Amino acid sequence: VSVPQVALALFCSVNAWVCMCEMGLCIYCNEIKEKYEQHTAKLGVGKLPPVFLFERATFSEWLSLRYWAVSMWATYATIDPSYADSCSFGFCVDVGNGFSSLVPTVLFAVGMTQPFVPARVLGMIGLVKFYQEFYGTVIYYFQYFFNQRYKRVPLSHVLGIVIPANGLWIVFPALGMWASVCLILEGNYSFFGH
């Protein structure tokens, strides 16, 4: 086991959960838009509602994709309303990531821990998967700032939520691309201590 392996295992675990939530973004888009509009009507433009993790919810709600997707995306939409608009880039890139990245994320996490395919094969899967996530995030940042969505919220929200939350999908995919290239070039799992 190596430090990059632990870091990528944690990231892949978080990413798999986020992929599920991104699928929920698609499935529950109308409810997300409705809840976002309720937040905006009640609190005003760009005002964050109370953190949904502290809302009263039943155990079955906590275990449901609907609860997580609607609560998470309706809250984030107060910072970037593209998540309440199924025609926007932010919505489409995350829905696309959710449906296209879940299987490669799980394969990479399992494969780097318990190799079951040749290192070069896992490296190719990882390189494509991590590049997609890196590129999608770079373009997301571009559209967020180019469209001046930051103007609707306090700077503290941009610096404390938008940049770090999305920055994870820059830092860890960059590490994943490096790991994947090592798997391809070396043809073994030595990068991960195997």
Q: What is the DSSP string of 147-172?
A: TTGGGGS-HHHIIIIIHHHHHHHHHH
Which pLDDT score, from 0 to 100, does residue 181 have? 98
**Which H helix or E strand runs over 84?**
none
CB hemisphere CA count around 194 (13 angstroms) = 17
Residue 107 has pLDDT above 90, yes or no: yes
Among 130, 126, 127, smallest CA distance to 111 is for 126
> In whole numbers, what is the pLDDT of the chain averaged over residues?
94
**For residues 84-98, average pLDDT:** 93
Which pLDDT score, from 0 to 100, does residue 15 have? 97
**For residues 16-23, average pLDDT:** 96
% pLDDT > 70, the chain: 100
pLDDT tens figures, 30-81 = 999 999 999 999 998 888 888 777 778 889 988 999 999 999 999 999 999 9
Residue type, 49: P
Tell me how far apart the alpha carbons of residues 81 and 10 are, in angstroms, rounded to a whole number: 29
**Which H helix or E strand runs over 178?**
helix 163-186
Tell me how far apart the alpha carbons of residues 188 and 194 are, in angstroms, rounded to a whole number: 8
CA distances from 184 to 99, 125, 132, 173 (A): 25, 10, 18, 16
Give Cβ neighbours of residue 43 (< 8 Å, ≥ 6 apart).
Answer: 49, 78
Tokens of 110: 């399992």
Which pLDDT score, from 0 to 100, does residue 194 have? 84
Tell me how far apart the alpha carbons of residues 48 and 74 are, in angstroms, rounded to a whole number: 10
The model's pTM: 0.90
- How confident is residue 90, by pLDDT bands cut at 50, 70 and 90? confident
Residue 136 has pLDDT above 80, yes or no: yes
Which pLDDT score, from 0 to 100, does residue 23 have? 97
**For residues 171-194, average pLDDT:** 96
% pLDDT > 90, the chain: 86
